[in-house]
Amino acid sequence: MVKHITMDALQQVYLALAPKSLGIADLGCSSGSNSLSIIKDIVESVEAASCKIMIPPPEFRVYLNDLPTNDFNSIFKSLPDFYRDLNKERSGGLPLVFIAGYPGSFYGRLFPNDCLHFVHSSYSLHWLSKVPPSLYDKQGKPINRGSVHISASSPPLVSQAYYAQFQEDFSLFLRSRSEELTAGGRMVLIMLGRIGPDHVDRGNSFYWELLSRSLTILATQGEIKREDIDSYDVHFYAPTKDEMEAEIRREGSFEVERLEMLETEKELYKVSENYGTEVAMTVRAIQESMLSHHFGEGILDTLFEIYGRMVEEEMLKEEMNPITFVLVLRKL
């Protein structure tokens, strides 16, 4: 849905700056099959642009970033196949593509000054750097009892804590990238968000509400303790368009070239005929390690069976379409 936006922004950078060595960073690259597919698209898009203006394509410096716990070795093992696919059906010279892993948090500096021309980040920036500290009072007791995220029953301090953490994190992200991107460079940021000021809606927040309800069922069955639910918090925030733009203006290093809102339709889930199962698989893939560490591995199958069933039941009542924002930012 957003590939054309990403490639348009990339070609604008290349045509405007025409660097001989193009610096690209993918922040939150993960380690599955998608980790290198975006790089192949980028190389082919730039090659097409260079052909239009009749100059040789640049060399590509590609920096793959994720947290140190990411399985970078699996990416490196797939590089021979990546280069083989990239070089198929080429009669001319082969592109010079240099790929490196850069482990670390993108909430802070990762790269040297002015070494990047293009930054891509897909579905990573809605994850905060940490659970907001203000979710606990001075005695260390949780203030968001019974919920893993912002819910209708949460006191106002909860949404305020999440928003403050988002402001701190997003501002630091922008400030760090402003040092690393050259003037005229672009960022394409794809992240989950929400439509209006209400933190509780039928979009992204409701999936966390259903996780809270699923955990509560396990607590009533005696499988887990209620106080363990009280002390489990998801470090996730879905900002509004206004909240993102306010931080971009405040930081001052970028201008918004494009900002689009997309709804993820139910029909996009096609691995299984059961939408609830698909959503449960997605949330489990993201949360499994944290949930098993906090509650124990033994509850996971039952938890996500309950969760998938709840999602399916809610979809029969009313659609749940999570919101995605696509931002294209230009470095001033």
Report the alpha-carbon distance of residue 181 to residue 177 in Å, rounded.
Answer: 6
Could you read off the pLDDT of 272-284 as tens digits, one per residue?
A: 568 899 999 999 9
Looking at every residue in the chain, the average pLDDT score rounds to: 93
Radius of gyration of the chain (CA): 21
HSE-CB of 228 using CA atoms within 13 angstroms: 17
Report the alpha-carbon distance of residue 232 to residue 75 in Å, rounded.
Answer: 31
| pLDDT(92) > 70 | no
Query: 21-27 and 59-66 as β-strands: parallel, antiparallel, unpaired?
Result: parallel
Could you read off the pLDDT of 116-156 as tens digits, one per residue?
A: 999 999 999 999 999 999 999 999 999 999 999 999 999 99
pLDDT for res 87? 85
| pLDDT(241) > 50 | yes
Could you read off the pLDDT of 287-331 as tens digits, one per residue?
A: 999 999 999 999 999 999 999 999 999 988 888 888 999 999 999
| pLDDT(271) > 50 | no
| Cβ(176)–Cβ(109) below 8 Å | yes
| pLDDT(269) > 70 | no
Range with lowest mean pLDDT among 81-90, 123-132, 206-215, 254-263:
81-90
Report the chain's terminal Cα–Cα distance, integer Å: 27
| pLDDT(270) > 70 | no
Residue 118 is inside which H or E element, if any? strand 116-122
